[in-house]
Homo-oligomer: A and B are copies of this chain.
Amino acid sequence: MDMKELYNNMGGEIKEFEKFEGDLHKGYKFTYEKRLSEVDVQFFGLVSGDFNPVHFDEKIASGTRFGGRIVHGMLTTSLVSAALARLPGLVIILETYFRYTAPVRIGDVVKVEGVVKEADMAKKQYKIDITCSVEDKTVIQGWTNILIW
């Protein structure tokens, strides 16, 4: 069984890799969304080694202000990486800043919204504002600098 099939059988949402259309410019907007499931938390724990009980131990997590297990913040921001990779061209991430403003629950669909705020066409560098949300709630705000090859 290949890895994609395995992941899908475990309840993971497979996203096709489709590039966004048009040319990058100041004001360019894009969105990307994906469901974060139990398998994603398990896989992220294994690749990183982050077995923080707030993500894995329902008993401990339910005793916190979150009231239950939450998704790793950096698993949520991995969706920003996926959104950026869909921009036109070969995308290289140079810098990221993220502020985690609200928890994401296992099973939540996270929407990434980006807007190009600065475009240096000569250097092919772009500063992009990022918002991640679940339904109408903002869960992450930040920005990134990318380079297009």
Q: A-side interface residues toward B, CB under 8 Å?
A: 3-4, 7, 12-15, 17, 32, 34, 36, 39-40, 42-44, 46-54, 60, 64-65, 72-75, 77-82, 85, 90-100, 149
Contact = CB atoms under 8 A, between A and B. Distances in A.
Nearest to A52: B85
Given A48-B78, A74-B74, A98 B99 contact: no
A82 to B, nearest CB: 4
Nearest to A61: B90
A75 B46 CA distance: 11
Count copies of this chain in the complex.
2
B78 A47 contact: yes
9 contacts: A7-B46, A43-B44, A48-B78, A52-B81, A52-B91, A53-B90, A65-B149, A96-B98, A97-B97
A133 B67 CA distance: 36
Contacts of A12: 46-47
Q: Which of A12, A44, A74 is packed against the most chain B CB atoms within 10 Å? A: A74
Nearest to A56: B17
Contacts of A49: 13-15, 17, 32, 34, 79, 82
A46 B42 CA distance: 12
